[in-house]
């Protein structure tokens, strides 16, 4: 079969980079403020054209990130396009409704035209006013290339405008190929993204006020691609030595610059009722679902960067493909009303959704459902006493075997004519979730998230874990970030290894006990973290942060009386499970007990000041030589891998169905493959094992030998992770 070229389609779509969108589009700015033509000094209309073209990419990108992951399954109504991708069948662009590489290059080429013509030396009031906008275009181009690399593995790199079909760039690109390994080289994206970072930090962010989708008003700031997030993602994707530290620094910079105080306002929960010493649990995901609503997408909340959808075609591009594929029938309407000035009218619109089984091409996988039951839901009894901070003191903890409360918001039940089924609802937020988990009144969100605050926290945890700080990373999952809580200090007033012959004592460091927070840290990690800016959760930049642990957002609040979700229990148990899985045999409990015993021995080794010479005798050691403490222990690679897997699970709980899953799994698999302390294909085997179990209804590490051998064998080869490029 002859391979189809996308050159002609590419040129037709791109033209000279000019958008063909109607001037009435919601992303058309108020041009009374920008009277000049496109001269390189006033490019705002061109910039908004780039955002419009991003709208043409985003739905496809979300679906490509979910269909190939472990959280979804097909149905009897699944199209061939989705089925082929779900089964990793090699399909060319043009033969699959979800494959359109040209749409990405349309964005890239328009960015290239902009960057070729923009005048970054233009000044007004002694300010280089074009540089804010230029930085955004450079970052959008970098983000778009990153999506291409995540989907296709290796693609042509083009940084100059393309205006004809005779360039030969598909088969022999003049600037070479771009992939995850060279994506940050200076001749690829490295130089331009660092320049964008400099522009952003020097001149700030552009602000073109707000625009109306017909049903909601969005701030232009909500469409901003922050330089620190794009750079953090690029370093995390590349994953070379030193890249994890750089990624952590960039995520830290962003989190420091844009604090939040979400607290319990973004947590899904269960309403608990006690009767006859037994509890019943009714799902209540409403507070968590609120973060996805358009009216809640402010810079102080969870959804940070979005691409908006119009309410109907008269306002611009309508992005309803996702709810349709997830099973919702879409209806669009328009209405008019009298304007504020006499004789004028105002238009508005709305999109309504109805659950329809025959439209439901994707559903939650049984593996995802089982994963959501991996941990119990925690709730507490309080006796009325409060601590020094005014916080109520819990007296008893209860565990309900009902799992993650977010599940009932991400995939609630809807009743159709013939049945009651779970529908994926991230882009069709239910107005009501009843006590039995049934949803009503689905509402279109008018936005597709690109970056969420909690997603940044998870990638930050991923970076600091790989940089050698698994306990700090686990703290983000367990307790979150409390900027008003001091980090534990290393104390050096304890001594060990007393040698009365040589008259020496050695310092034995330990951590001061805190009333709350950061109980998962160890003295060795805190000592190694001294002086590292991106591990200081209590700096003055963080004092306004009050963010619960990611695990708390669905499994109940963390509390010091909870003895289950702790580093020793969860991480060491995962180390044991992974060892048993990789070895293909072995008793998990026996391995786990051994690890617990080793940890206990390390924690108690050498404690105290030594024994005196005889009962009641106290030796005067005031003139002894004090030896420095031994060097802190390095991070254990088995624990790093275990925490990384736990982070991947939390990504599933929090970000399911939003289009990040397959990209998260392949990125983490690359981390493991690049780790020379592991087997050469450790990451490939890990990813293949996870995805091959998506339809088996098993919890993680339950019957680890069971898998779909066909998918497993296919995904052991990383070339099968990527879509077919037009040339090979």
Residue 424 is predicted with a pLDDT of: 98
> Whole-model pTM?
0.92
Residue 230 maps to a domain: no
CATH of residue 185: 1.25.40
What distances in angstroms separate CA 134 from CA 138, 314, 440, one per listed residue? 6, 29, 44
For residues 614 and 357, give the distance between their C-alpha atoms in angstroms, rounded to a whole number: 82
Query: Which of 450, 408, 465 lies closest to 308, judged by CA?
Result: 450
724 within some domain: no
Q: How many whole angstroms separate alpha carbon 480 and alpha carbon 458? A: 11
Q: How far is residue 175 from each of residues 222, 295, 357, measured CA to CA in Å? A: 33, 44, 48
The Cα-based distances of 2 to 300, 676, 726, 727 in angstroms read 52, 41, 11, 11
Contacts of residue 532, defined as CB under 8 A and 6 or more positions apart, other chains included, come to: none
Write out the two tokens for 715: 């995904």
Residue at 428 is within a domain: no
pLDDT at 343: 53
Q: Could you tell me the residue range of the domain that residue 76 belongs to?
A: 7-214
711 in a structural domain: no
CB atoms within 10 A of CB 295: 10
Residues 426 and 289: their CA atoms lie apart, in Å, by: 8
Among 663, 660, 679, 683, CA closest to 671: 683
Tell me the DSSP string of 30-47.
-GGG--S-SSSS--HHHH
645 φ/ψ angles, rounded to the nearest 5 degrees:
-70, -40
Looking at residue 702, its pLDDT comes to: 96
Whether residue 383 is contained in a domain is answered as: no
In a domain, 450, yes or no: no
CA distance 340 to 219: 22
User: Helices 661-674 and 44-67, interaxial angle, to 10°?
Assistant: 80
- As a residue count, the chain comes to 728
180-to-109, 172, 246, 630 alpha-carbon distances in Å: 20, 19, 16, 39
Burial 313-327 (b: 16+ CB within 10 A, else e): ebbbbbbbbbbbbbb
Tally of domains in the chain:
1
Q: Is residue 619 part of a domain?
A: no
CA 636 – CA 677 distance, rounded (Å)? 11
Exposure on the CB side of residue 610, measured as CA atoms within 13 A: 19
CA dihedral 463, 464, 469, 475 (to 10 degrees): -110
pLDDT tens, position by position, 167-216: 777 788 999 999 999 999 999 999 999 999 999 999 999 999 888 889 98
Neighbours of 522 (CB within 10 A): 20
β-bridge mates for residue 386, sequence order: 392
Question: Among 430, 433, 146, 410, which residue's Cα sits nearest to residue 271?
Answer: 433
Token pair of 611, please? Answer: 């024994």
Q: Which pLDDT score is estimated for 473?
A: 97
Closest CA to 452 of 210, 220, 658: 658
Count of CB atoms within 10 A of residue 543's CB? Answer: 13
* Strands of 446-524, DSSP E: 447-452, 481-482, 490-491, 495-499, 504-507, 510-511
In this prediction, the residues of the chain whose per-residue pLDDT falls under 50 are 1-23, 30-38, 297, 605-615, 728
Whether 210 is in a domain gets the answer: yes
Placement of tokens 């662009």 in the chain: 93
Which residue is it, tokens 């701030």? 219
In this predicted structure, what is the pLDDT of residue 21?
Answer: 41
Q: Which residues in 523-674 belong to E strands, given as ranges?
A: 546-547, 625-627
What confidence score (pLDDT) does residue 611 get? 44
- DSSP code string of 380-431: EEEEEEE-TTSPEEEEEEEEETT--TTHHHHS-EEE-SS-EEE---TTEEEE
> What's the CA gap between 439 and 359, in Å, rounded?
17
List of residues 6+ apart from 19 with CB closer than 8 A = 46, 48, 49, 52, 53, 110
């Amino acid at each position: 079969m002859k391979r189809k070229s996308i050159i002609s389609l590419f040129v037709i779509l791109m033209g000279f980079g000019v958008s063909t969108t109607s001037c009435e589009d919601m992303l058309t700015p108020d041009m009374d403020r920008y009277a000049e033509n496109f001269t390189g000094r006033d490019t705002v209309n061109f910039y908004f054209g780039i955002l419009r073209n991003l709208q043409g990419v985003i739905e496809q990108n979300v679906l490509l990130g979910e269909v190939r992951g472990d959280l979804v399954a097909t149905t009897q109504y699944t199209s061939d396009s989705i089925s082929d991708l779900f089964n990793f069948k090699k399909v060319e662009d043009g033969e699959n409704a979800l494959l359109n590489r040209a749409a990405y290059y349309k964005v890239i080429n328009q960015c290239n035209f902009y960057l070729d013509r923009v005048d970054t030396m233009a000044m007004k009031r002694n300010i280089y006013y074009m540089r804010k906008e230029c930085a955004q275009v450079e970052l959008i181009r970098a983000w778009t290339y990153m999506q291409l690399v995540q989907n296709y593995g290796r693609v042509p790199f083009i940084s100059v405008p393309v205006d004809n079909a005779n360039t030969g760039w598909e088969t022999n690109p003049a600037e070479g190929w771009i992939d995850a390994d060279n994506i940050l080289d200076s001749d690829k994206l490295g130089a331009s993204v660092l320049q964008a970072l400099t522009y952003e930090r020097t001149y700030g962010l552009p602000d073109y006020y707000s625009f109306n989708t017909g049903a909601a008003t969005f701030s232009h700031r909500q469409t901003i691609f922050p330089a620190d997030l794009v750079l953090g993602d690029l370093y995390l994707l590349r994953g070379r030595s030193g890249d994890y530290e750089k990624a952590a620094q960039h995520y830290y910079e962003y989190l420091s610059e844009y604090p939040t105080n979400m607290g319990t306002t973004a947590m899904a929960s269960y309403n608990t009722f006690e009767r006859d010493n037994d509890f019943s649990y009714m799902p209540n995901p409403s507070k968590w679902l609120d973060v996805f609503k358009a009216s809640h997408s402010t810079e102080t909340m969870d959804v940070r960067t979005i691409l908006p959808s119009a309410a109907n075609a008269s306002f611009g591009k309508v992005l309803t493909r996702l709810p349709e594929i997830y099973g919702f029938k879409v209806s669009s309407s328009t209405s008019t009303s009298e304007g504020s000035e006499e004789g004028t009218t105002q238009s508005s619109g709305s999109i309504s959704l109805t659950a329809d089984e025959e439209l439901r091409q994707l559903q939650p996988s049984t593996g995802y459902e089982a994963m959501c039951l991996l941990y119990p839901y925690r709730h507490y009894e309080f006796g009325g006493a409060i601590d020094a901070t005014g916080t109520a003191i819990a007296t008893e903890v209860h565990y309900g075997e009902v799992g993650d409360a977010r599940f009932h918001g991400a995939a609630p039940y809807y009743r159709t004519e013939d049945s009651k089924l779970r529908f994926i609802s991230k882009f069709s937020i239910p107005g009501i979730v009843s006590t039995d988990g049934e949803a009503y009144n689905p509402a279109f969100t008018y936005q597709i998230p690109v970056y969420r605050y909690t997603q940044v926290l998870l990638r930050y945890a991923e970076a600091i874990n790989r940089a050698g700080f698994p306990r700090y990373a686990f703290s983000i999952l367990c307790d979150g970030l409390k900027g008003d809580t001091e980090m534990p200090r290393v104390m050096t007033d304890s001594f060990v290894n007393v040698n009365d012959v040589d008259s020496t004592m050695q310092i034995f460091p330990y951590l001061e006990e805190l009333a709350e927070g950061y109980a998962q840290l160890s003295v060795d990690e805190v000592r190694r973290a001294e002086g590292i800016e991106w591990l200081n959760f209590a700096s003055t930049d963080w004092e306004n942060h009050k963010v619960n642990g990611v695990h708390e957002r669905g499994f109940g609040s963390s509390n010091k009386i909870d003895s289950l979700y702790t580093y020793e229990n969860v991480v060491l148990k995962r180390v044991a499970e992974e060892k048993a899985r990789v070895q293909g045999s072995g008793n998990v409990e026996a391995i786990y007990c051994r690890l617990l015993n080793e940890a206990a021995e390390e924690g108690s080794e050498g404690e105290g000041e030594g024994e005196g010479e005889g009962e009641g005798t106290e030796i005067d050691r005031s003139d002894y030589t004090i030896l420095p403490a031994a060097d802190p222990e390095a991070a254990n690679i088995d624990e790093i891998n275990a925490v990384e897997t736990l982070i991947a699970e939390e990504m599933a709980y929090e970000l399911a169905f939003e289009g990040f899953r397959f990209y998260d799994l392949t990125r983490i698999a690359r981390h493991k493959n690049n780790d020379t302390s592991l087997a050469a294909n450790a990451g490939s085997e890990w990813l293949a094992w996870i995805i091959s179990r998506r339809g088996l209804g098993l919890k993680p590490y339950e019957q680890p030998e069971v898998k779909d051998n066909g998918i497993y064998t296919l995904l052991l080869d990383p070339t099968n992770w990527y879509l077919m490029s037009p040339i090979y």
